Chain A
Amino acid sequence: MVVADFFQYAFMQRALIAGLFVALSCSLIGVFLVLRRLALIGDGLAHIAFGGLALGMFTGLPPLLTALVTTIAGALGIQWLKQRKVSADAAIAVVFSFGLALGVVLVSLARGFNVDLFSFLFGSILAVSTADVYVVAALGLVVVVAVAVFYKELLYITFDEEAAKASGLPIAFLNTALMVLTALTVIVAMRVVGVLLVSSFIVLPTVTARQLARSFRSTILFAVIAALLSVVFGLTASYYLDIAAGGAIVLVAGFLFLLASVVRALR
């Protein structure tokens, strides 16, 4: 009954499908990012995307293109800084300060901000269009295939990058691929569901999974399940309680983390 009600509305169907794909993409790569101490990369890249969008609007180039290019550059910049004695958290801070400053300066040069800029940054899951659903579904497919193909290599560089390199794995390629994939995920998902959901889906499912999982494989499985459950329960709650959908999903994700912590403590 509950589910039937829920599906009456096309916008809710789109929200559910888009949310599930974004949850899947972000939680899958989130496992690798969180374990590499890059948990805040979602927020960091969102800021550089803001700079990239402003650059597009200022120069007249397509904003999506400039945002994509600057976000990938920012992700690779984080990787580059990490190799130069800058810790991961500081590297993210450097890149996001720079991105935000670039955006602010360009917006001030353009004398005032553009509404488009903000709708791009703070997408809403309830306003997802059919085209958006296809875009995030394609993203989900790309992320799933990439993680399935490079699963063992990504695991090794996440666990012990130096030993992975010594064993002959192409570390530079794998790091670059993970960063490009992250940038792509953040920018595509952010436009559809907003920064809050993207950064939450990168971090919360993994920390929840780590409470319960005893292997790497189960960490990935539990993280994806936690992310998908957050979308289903969060949207249901937002529909029945008439509360903000994005916020409700993140609160459910946070609640699942608490639940997993309690289960761990009782075990």
Chain B
Amino acid sequence: MPQPVVEFKDVAFSYNGTPALERVTATINRGDYVGLIGPNGAGKTTLVKILLGLLTPNNGSIKLFGQPLAQFQNWHKIGYVPQKATAFDPQFPATVREVVAMGRFALAGVGRHLGSADRERIRQTLRMVGLEELEDRPIGELSGGQQQKAFIARALVSDPELLILDEPTTGVDAKSQHEFYHFLHGLNSEHHLTLILISHDTDTVSGHVSKLLCLNRSVMDKGCSIGFIDKDDHAGHFKRVRHRH
């Protein structure tokens, strides 16, 4: 019995009258490793921002872990790794540990300081992504791949059940990318995390994920590229995706 983690129903969104998303209906289940793909401007980031409550849709409904978005409170269940380039000022005076700790703040509660259990979880997560040696370094002094790991650690430190990564391999070299996909595979298969990986690079992503959700303003049920069409094992998923034209 699949347990839905994210349910989009008929979601529409427009920026100042220009439609960015129309009739998006899709379900992501527990344990899925979903590649959310589509060309630039397809509305991938917009869809994720709606999911995260950062944007309000013009139409449609969203359920998170079975609960309507408006009532959803357990945001620590969702880890979000934003597109790196737009996310932070590289000169910002914060250490890797301070950045990772941020992921624990909402869980600790407003106005409360982190306790020893939080600090232990931060240490474990730094070890898990291989940054324990660099924890006292300013975030801006790290390489692109290391910064990416720090932001993933920040998303993982709240013990999420769903991890969303927006174009995570931008500016990361090929060797680190390989390592990175291996790491994500482990999170999905060993830690049973539901993953949503946003990318415009269909060919690379389709080799790693177990499901593809192709977006170009609406969900494309005919697939996104040649690289996708022969992945028959995903057809079942897309048959479940309701689509009205």
- Residues in chain A within 8 A of chain B (CB atoms): 35, 149-153, 155-156, 159-160, 162-170, 209-210, 213-219
Q: A215-B93, A215-B98 are in contact. Are A168 and B106 (CB under 8 A)?
A: yes
Q: With A163-B80, A163-B102 in contact, is A216–B75 under 8 Å at CB? A: no
Shortest distance from the beta carbon of B126 to any chain A beta carbon, whole Å:
15
- Considering only residues 109-123 of chain B, those with a C-beta below 8 Å from chain A are 110-111, 113-114
Q: Which residues from B are CB-within-8-Å of A162?
A: 54, 82, 87
Q: List the A side residues contacting B87 at CB < 8 Å.
A: 160, 162-163
In the bound complex, CA of A168 to CA of B78 (Å): 10
Q: Say yes or no: is B138 at the interface (Cβ < 8 Å to chain A).
A: yes
The answer on a CB contact under 8 Å between B92 and A35 is: yes
Residues in chain A near residue B134, CB distance under 8 A: none
Interface of A (DSSP majority class) = helix
What residues of A have a CB within 8 angstroms of the CB of B82 in the complex? 160, 162-163, 166
Bound CA span A168–B109, Å: 10
Q: Is the CB of A219 within 8 A of B93?
A: yes
User: Interface centre among B91, B95, B106, by most A CB within 10 Å?
Assistant: B106
B5 within 8 A of partner (CB): no
Please give, as numbers and ranges, the residues of chain B lying within 8 Å of A165 by CB-CB distance.
52-54
Q: In the complex, which of the residues A152, A165, A169, A214 has the most CB atoms of chain B within 10 Å of its own CB atom?
A: A152
**Is the C-beta of B183 less than 8 angstroms from some C-beta in chain A?**
no
**Contact yes or no, A152 B94, CB < 8 A:** no
Indicate which residue in A153, A209, A215 contacts B94 across the interface (CB closer than 8 Å).
Answer: A215
Q: A156-B105, A160-B88 are in contact. Are A166 and B138 (CB under 8 A)?
A: no
Are B73 and A159 in contact, with the CB atoms below 8 A?
no
Q: Are the C-beta atoms of A216 and B76 separated by less than 8 Å? A: no
Neighbour of A214 across the interface among B75, B110, B136, CB < 8 A: B136
Residue from A164, A170, A214 within 8 A of B138 (CB atoms): A214
Contact yes or no, B99 A159, CB < 8 A: yes
Q: Identify which of B52, B53, B94 contacts A159 (C-beta below 8 A).
A: B94
Given A162-B87, A168-B73, A169-B110, the answer on whether A216 and B98 have CB atoms closer than 8 Å is yes
24 pairs of residues in contact across A and B, judged by CB atoms under 8 Å: A35-B92, A150-B110, A150-B111, A152-B101, A152-B105, A152-B113, A153-B111, A160-B87, A162-B54, A162-B87, A164-B102, A165-B54, A166-B53, A166-B54, A167-B102, A168-B73, A168-B106, A210-B91, A210-B93, A214-B136, A215-B138, A216-B93, A216-B94, A217-B98
Give bound CA distance, A216 to B91, whole Å: 11
- For A216, the chain B residues whose CB sits under 8 A away are 93-95, 98
Complex Cα gap A39–B158 (Å): 32
CB distance from A177 to the nearest CB of B (A): 11
Kindly list chain B residues whose C-beta atoms are within 8 Å of the C-beta of A168.
73, 75-76, 106
CA distance A191 to B102 in the complex (A): 37
Which of A35, A149, A166, A216 has the most CB atoms of chain B within a 10 A radius of its CB?
A166
Among B55-87, those with CB < 8 Å from A are 73, 75-76, 78, 80, 82, 87
User: Is A215 within 8 A of B88, CB to CB?
Assistant: no
A166:B94 contact, CB within 8 angstroms = no
**Nearest residue, chain B, Cβ from A212:** B93
Question: B128: which A residues are within 8 A, CB to CB?
Answer: none
Q: Point out the residues of chain B lying under 8 angstroms from A210, CB to CB.
A: 91, 93
Query: Any chain A CB within 8 A of the CB of B223?
Result: no
Q: How far is the CB of A211 from chain B (nearest CB, A)?
A: 10
Closest to B81 in A: A163
Residues of A within 8 A of B106 (CB): 167-169
Interface bits B30-42 vs A (CB < 8 Å: 1, else 0): 0000000000000
A234 to chain B: closest CB distance in Å? Answer: 25
Q: Given known contacts A150-B111, A167-B80, A167-B103, what 15 new A-B pairs fall within 8 Å (CB)?
A: A152-B102, A152-B113, A153-B105, A159-B88, A159-B92, A163-B154, A165-B53, A167-B76, A168-B76, A209-B93, A210-B93, A214-B93, A214-B137, A214-B138, A215-B94
A65–B102 Cα distance when bound, in Å, is: 38
Most chain B beta-carbon neighbours within 10 Å: one of A150, A162, A170: A162
Determine the chain B residues whose CB is within 8 A of the CB of A215 once the complex forms: 93-95, 98, 136, 138
Determine the chain B residues whose CB is within 8 A of the CB of A151 once the complex forms. Answer: 113
Q: For the complex, give the distance between the alpha carbons of A50 and B113 in Å.
A: 39
The answer to whether the Cβ of B229 comes within 8 Å of any Cβ in the partner chain is: no
Of chain A, the residue at the smallest CB distance from B139 is A159
Which 7 interchain pairs have the tightest Cβ spacing? Answer: A168-B75, A168-B106, A167-B106, A166-B52, A219-B93, A215-B95, A216-B94
